[in-house]
Structures are given as structure tokens and as C-alpha cells.
């Protein structure tokens, strides 16, 4: 079994993008924290724009965080947003970074972890990510963008980056500004040896997590020329790779499966385990599970050999 599914320890439900009245959000910090605690979250990053909202709570691990902006060279007035996790201070002066690379380098120099927010919504391209090697990954799903504008899913950007050789992890977030209306839609499930700020940051650096809108990935095995996936009751399981390259099994009774076969099903036909056999030339894969309810889970990319 590949990491993080082979680990003992805790699985923590993390909300990694949210706003309060300290920037453009509707809830106070205390109100937002209570909202996510009641919803069963273990970890919250309050990512107010250019503001570190500090708070403490007995049950919730709070990651000191902010959403910082950077100029996009040659794109008029457009800019990019970079999520900064685990920073205790803001840049001085508090003005937009000249580039995504400069923002990500500054965050990492503070001991933090940098993720590129909503690439689709920001009009970004794979090249924008690849020019900033200090980034750990992207938001593959930003539920707020998806809910309001239909541009929250950046899976194509992700595949482009990976195909061009970039190292890129994928988180899912709410980007909630109006908790209750645009919250509890997407989150990141982190495998951590303990419930602490440091353990969660380390998992975000290393890719010990999967992203989800409600579907569950339980295990991924890579070996013997194949990829085996265990998951919560699924409508389909896909192994993505570069252009032309994918494998899928589907629960539909007449569906054609491609480079994969179902190993276990629930009584109603939902898939819970499948094995895939990608062609030998594949270098990497990533798993997407669509649950019977229509939610999606995204694994991080892994080596296939």
C-alpha cells in the first residue's frame, strides 16, 4: 500500500481555505470556528487576505495562515492568489508580490507551506505553476468557485503540470465567505501521526492526504504492473495520467471498463475495490473516485512503474 494509506495514525478532516470579517468573510473568527467544529472538522486554516487571524480552540487545530496575492506578468490587471500555511508574520511591506514564485519562496522561507489557489478561477496555466518551484501544489477543487461560477475544478491544470514533469499535490477546500451557504462542500483528509499544527503542515508538504467533496479513498496499492484501489461505495474509479492515458471502471450495468476490472461490489452494484493495468510506459498516475452520491475524491499523484 502506498503512503499515506499504509500509515497508522489519525485521519484529520481539514478545512484549508476560509475567510472571516478580518477580510471579505461574513462570520467572525469565533463564529467560523464554531461552525467548522459543529460540522466535524479537526483542522481549520483561516486564510484571510493579507491578514493572519489568530484564535485558539480546544478541539480544533488552527493553522496560522493567509491568502497572499501576486502579480501575473503580462496579464493586465489579473493576479494570482497563494495560500500560505504555517506563517506567523505577514510580508513587509504588505503589498502584492511581483510573481507567484516570489510569494511561494517567501512563504517557504518563513517555514510555511505554499499552495496555489483556484488555478481555473484565476485564469492560470501550467507554466505559471512550473515557474514557482517553491509551491507544494494547487487547489484541485475550490468549492466556492465551483458553486458560484462553475470554475472550481482544476483537474486539467493538474494533469498538464504533472505531464510537464512538475511536482504538484492537490487539496480541496471550501474558500467559504458565507458559512452555511458555501461551506462543508470540499475538504482535505490528512493522515497525521498526531493532532498538531506541525504534523498537519508536514503532511501538506509531503502529500500525506487526499482531497474530497465527500467520497472516500481507503487504499492504493501499486505493484506487479498494476494499481489496486479500495474506496467507499463508488459509481466509478479512474486512474488518470497524461494525454491519451487513463483507466476506468464504472458501476453502470452496461458500462465498458477500460484497463481495469472490479474486484468487489456492494449488494447494489457500487464498486468498493478495483484493479487497473496501465500500459508499461506510464510514469505517474492519480486516482479519482466518484461516490454513489456523486461526490469526488482525488488522490495525490504517485509513481507507476
Which residues are bridge partners to 262 per DSSP? 274
Stretch that binds Zn ion, among 2-10, 57-65, 96-104, 168-176 (CB under 5 A): 168-176
**Under a CB-based contact definition with an 8 Å cutoff, are residues 59 and 82 in contact?**
no
Count, residues near Zn ion per rule CB under 5 A: 2
Interface with Zn ion, residue 245, by CB under 5 A: no
Query: Residue 72 in 3-state DSSP?
Result: coil
**CB closer to Zn ion out of 148 and 218:** 148
Q: Which is nearer to Zn ion, 179 or 260 (CB)?
A: 179
Q: What minimum distance in Å lies between the beta carbon of 117 and Zn ion?
A: 6
DSSP 138: E
Nearer to Zn ion, 128 or 288 (CB): 128
In the bound state with Zn ion, the residue whose beta carbon lies nearer, of 67 and 159, is 67
- Report the residue number, 160 or 175, with the smaller CB distance to Zn ion: 175
Applying CB under 5 A, does 174 fall inside the site for Zn ion? no
Residue nearest to Zn ion (CB): 175
Q: How far is the CB of 67 from Zn ion (least distance, A)?
A: 5
In the complex, minimum distance from the CB of residue 72 to Zn ion, in angstroms, rounded to a whole number: 17
**Residue 104 CB, nearest approach to Zn ion (Å):** 17
**175 is a site residue for Zn ion (CB under 5 A):** yes
CB of 133: closest distance to Zn ion in angstroms?
Answer: 23
Residue 77, SS3 per DSSP: coil
Cβ-based nearer residue to Zn ion, 49 or 259: 49
Q: Which of residues 265-304 bind Zn ion (CB under 5 A)?
A: none
42/63 Cα distance (integer angstroms) = 11
Distance CA 122, CA 81 (A): 8
Rounded Cα–Cα distance for residues 228 and 303 (Å): 13
* DSSP one-letter code for 123: T
Question: At its nearest, how many Å lie between Zn ion and the CB of residue 24?
Answer: 8
Query: Among 72, 140, 141, which residue's Cα sits nearest to residue 101?
Result: 72
Collapsing DSSP states into helix, strand and coil, what is residue 225? coil
CB neighbour class for 305 (10 Å; exposed up to 12, middle 13-18, buried from 19): exposed
Is residue 199 within 8 Å of residue 214, measured between CB atoms? Answer: no
| Grid cell digits, residue 70 | 501576486
Enumerate residues 37-96 that contact Zn ion by CB under 5 A. Answer: 67
Residues that bind Zn ion (CB under 5 A): 67, 175
Amino acid at each position: 500500500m502506498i503512503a499515506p494509506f499504509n500509515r497508522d495514525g489519525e485521519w484529520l478532516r481539514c478545512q484549508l481555505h476560509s475567510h472571516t470579517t478580518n477580510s471579505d468573510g461574513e462570520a467572525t473568527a469565533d463564529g467560523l470556528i464554531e461552525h467548522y467544529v459543529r460540522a466535524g472538522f479537526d483542522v481549520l486554516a483561516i486564510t484571510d487576505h493579507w491578514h493572519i487571524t489568530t484564535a485558539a480552540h480546544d478541539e480544533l487545530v488552527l493553522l496560522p495562515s493567509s491568502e497572499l496575492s501576486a502579480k501575473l506578468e503580462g496579464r493586465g490587471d489579473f493576479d494570482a492568489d497563494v495560500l500560505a500555511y504555517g506563517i506567523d508574520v505577514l510580508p513587509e511591506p504588505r503589498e502584492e508580490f511581483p510573481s507567484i514564485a516570489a510569494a511561494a519562496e517567501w512563504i517557504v522561507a518563513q517555514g510555511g507551506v505554499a499552495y496555489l489557489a483556484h488555478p481555473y478561477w484565476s485564469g492560470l496555466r501550467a507554466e505559471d505553476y512550473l515557474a514557482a518551484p517553491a509551491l507544494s501544489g494547487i487547489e484541485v477543487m475550490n468549492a466556492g468557485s465551483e458553486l458560484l461560477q462553475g470554475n472550481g475544478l482544476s483537474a486539467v491544470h493538474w494533469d498538464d503540470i504533472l505531464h510537464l514533469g512538475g511536482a504538484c499535490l492537490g487539496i480541496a477546500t471550501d474558500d467559504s465567505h458565507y458559512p452555511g451557504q458555501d461551506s462543508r462542500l470540499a475538504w482535505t483528509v490528512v493522515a497525521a501521526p498526531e493532532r498538531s499544527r506541525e504534523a498537519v503542515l508536514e503532511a501538506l508538504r509531503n502529500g500525506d492526504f487526499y482531497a474530497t467533496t465527500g467520497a472516500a479513498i481507503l487504499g492504493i496499492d501499486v505493484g506487479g504492473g498494476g494499481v489496486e484501489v479500495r474506496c467507499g461505495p463508488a459509481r466509478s474509479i479512474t486512474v488518470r495520467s497524461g494525454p491519451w492515458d487513463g483507466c476506468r471502471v464504472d458501476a453502470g450495468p452496461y458500462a465498458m471498463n477500460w484497463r481495469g476490472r472490479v474486484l468487489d461490489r456492494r449488494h447494489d452494484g457500487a464498486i468498493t475495490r478495483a484493479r487497473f493495468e496501465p500500459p508499461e510506459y506510464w510514469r505517474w498516475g492519480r486516482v479519482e473516485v466518484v461516490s454513489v452520491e456523486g461526490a469526488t475524491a482525488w488522490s495525490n499523484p504517485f509513481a507507476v512503474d
